[in-house]
Structure 1
Amino acid sequence: LLNSITLIFSIISTVPSCVFLFINGIMLFTLRSKPVFRETCRFILLYNLLLADTVQLAQSQVQFLLSVCRVKLVYSLCIILSMLANLTTGISPLTLVLMPLERYVAVCYPLRHASVITVRNTVAAVIAVWAVSSLNNLTRVLMFLKFPFEKMEVYDLCSNIALVLGVLTAEYDRAYTCVVFVSAGVAVTSSYVGVIVAARSASTDKALARKARHTLLLHLVQLGLSLSSTINNPLVVALSKVLTRMAFLWIQNIFYVTFIIFPRCMTSLIYGLRDQTIRPVLLYHLSCRVKVRISP
């Protein structure tokens, strides 16, 4: 009976994950299919955000299936999966620091937007985002090397919190997470306030300001969803100690869909269906029936 329930839970989580991985893959292909996407700064940032979300969704699904199937992995493989998870997890909020600033400059400084927000500067900012996230990973690797691995036990759940490396690592992770999400929150909130103030000016494009305001609100929602995913692992581990196996599987599956799958799929749904430039091309690739022309 338990094996049947495990199989059902695995299917319940795998099917939506595969669906959204397919949609995200089509979205990534769409964002590289035309010059208008490859040469527009906001689409470059969107591609970076979507790429990180897609990799994280795929990696999370693999770890979830390993956990549900009670597969025990060697620590070296667990560490690699943990590093990949930390790398992609850090990319999303850091990119959400850049995207509101780009919209703020577009609305508040439209004459300087083309000279400040260039493709070259945007690519440099994306490289900086990956460098910061990689530096965080490097710091955690140094902490790994200082820990006496012979004292560690084998965990069925191969995840960040399953690799218990002591108080120092836990405090570092909390501090890094707080700094990143506070920075992203300040960037989104400040940009939103700036756009509202600029919208009252007679010289501001009202339609652009209104659209930017709605976009910044979506950024704030995305940031909240990304932050919610950080509480998944601590809740799962805490509940695993007090719940029965069957109850734990139910809760684990619900938390996984709510905190991991849902936040990772929001990017493609929000931008793919909302953006007037992306939507016709995305629908064409998804449906393969109606060819939509779009100027490059």
Structure 2
Amino acid sequence: MSDISQTNISVGLHDLERGLLSSLTTLPCCVFFCINVIMLFTLRSKSVFRETCRYILLYNLVLADTLQMAVSQILYMMFFCRITLPYPVCGILVMFANLTNEISPLTLVLMSLERYVAVCYPLRHATIITIRNTEVSIITIWIFCSLNILIRVLLLLEFPFEELQRLQLKRYVCNTFLMFLTPVSHEYDKAYTCFLFVSAFVGVTCSYVGVMLAARSASTDKASAGKARNTLLLHLVQLGFSLSSTVNNALLLLTSKTVSNRVSLLIQNALYVLLFILPRCLSALIYGLRDQTIRPILVYNLCCQLKLLAVTAGAKIYP
């Protein structure tokens, strides 16, 4: 898991229990991952999705969530299989997980601003929200988040790695805390995380308030303003889920001190599914089912995949 803060929490569990718990956690992750992949395929299957700004932003959001889900599950399986990694490999995985995790809230801000412009400035929407401007904004987000990762790497260079006997982790958990080798790295991470989510919260909230005020105007389309208000409220909920994942470490530390290792492991897995995996699938499910244009195509693709899996399973059972 990308942000697990415990070390030997699974000591004392039998292999059968570990396998069963890992299966119960991995199964929903695989289902959600498949849904996200189908959603990505759907958003690239029609020209209307590739040429509409809000669908381009949605594609970037689902892509970041899917990559984050994949990296988190890889780290989670390494933890359960007790696989130790060299520091460089762990660092690359953790940094990539942080990169994709930061893309989501910033993309939500762009999607909120797009809805704000559509409601408050409908006549200028086509000139402000263009495909070129949208692509430039997405590239800017990725560059900004990549620069943050570069700064984290530069801060790591202050640590005297030459004094280590070997660059191998001494425990099974590969997480963000292992990258805080200096006090400056830890303080920078807290400051950047606070800045990121406060900025995203202010951006989404201001867009929501602007749409609420515009909805009271007589010249505003009430139906369009109502849909935009509900969408922005959904963005706030998604941002709340992203923010809740940052308190996962504090919850794990608290439970590890008050309950047994076995109970703490169950809580850890529940938090992993609820705070890391489930929110990454909400974008594909909610937007896919709410949008009248995406819904029939997404349902069709999902049904085709289910039929394909059923046919494949039947062929294996009855060769």
Give the TM-score normalised by structure 2. Answer: 0.87
Say which structure, 1 or 2, has more relative contact order (CA 8 Å, 6+ apart): 2
Percent of aligned pairs with the same amino acid: 60
Which of residues 17, 23, 43 is equivalent to 2:29? 17
Alignment of 1:245-284 (within 5 A): 245-284=261-300
Which of residues 191, 196, 220 is equivalent to 2:207? 191
Q: Is the contact made by 2:252 and 2:268 (CA closer than 8 Å) also made in structure 1?
A: yes
Question: What one-letter code is carried by the residue in structure 2 that aligns with 1:275?
Answer: D
Once the 2 structures are TM-superposed, how far is the Cα of residue 162 of structure 1 from its aligned partner?
Answer: 3.1
User: How many residues are matched?
Assistant: 289
Provide structure 2 residue ranges, at least 5 long, that are not aligned to the other structure.
1-12, 306-319
Cα distance in structure 1, aligned partners of 2:207 and 2:293: 23
Question: What one-letter code is carried by the residue in structure 2 that aligns with 1:49?
Answer: L
Cα distance in structure 2, aligned partners of 1:198 and 1:23: 35
Q: Secondary structure of 1:170's match? A: helix
Partner of residue 244, structure 2: 228
Q: Residue deviations 1:70-109, cap 9 Å, x none? A: 2111111100111111110110011111111000000000
Q: Secondary structure of 2:157's match? A: helix
Alignment of 1:148-187 (within 5 A): 148-149=160-161, 150=163, 154-187=170-203
Q: Residue deviations 1:233-262, cap 9 Å, x none? A: 444356556754423321221111111111
Which of residues 224, 230, 234 is equivalent to 1:218? 234
Cα distance in structure 2, aligned partners of 1:135 and 1:236: 30
Q: Is the contact made by 1:229 and 1:263 (CA closer than 8 Å) also made in structure 2?
A: no
Which of residues 122, 131, 137 is equivalent to 1:125? 137
Question: What one-letter code is carried by the residue in structure 1 that aligns with 2:35?
Answer: I
Alignment of 1:79-94 (within 5 A): 79-94=91-106
Cα distance in structure 2, aligned partners of 1:233 and 1:158: 13
Question: What one-letter code is carried by the residue in structure 1 that aligns with 2:29?
Answer: S
Partner of residue 14, structure 2: 2
Partner of residue 55, structure 1: 67
Q: Is the contact made by 2:113 and 2:207 (CA closer than 8 Å) also made in structure 1?
A: yes
Once the 2 structures are TM-superposed, how far is the Cα of residue 174 of structure 1 from its aligned partner?
Answer: 1.0
Cα distance in structure 2, aligned partners of 1:23 and 1:183: 30
Give the TM-score normalised by structure 1. Answer: 0.93
- Give the alignment's Cα RMSD to 1 decimal: 1.7
Cα distance in structure 2, aligned partners of 1:176 and 1:101: 22
Q: Secondary structure of 1:110's match? A: coil
Provide structure 1 residue ranges, at least 5 long, that are not aligned to the other structure.
290-296
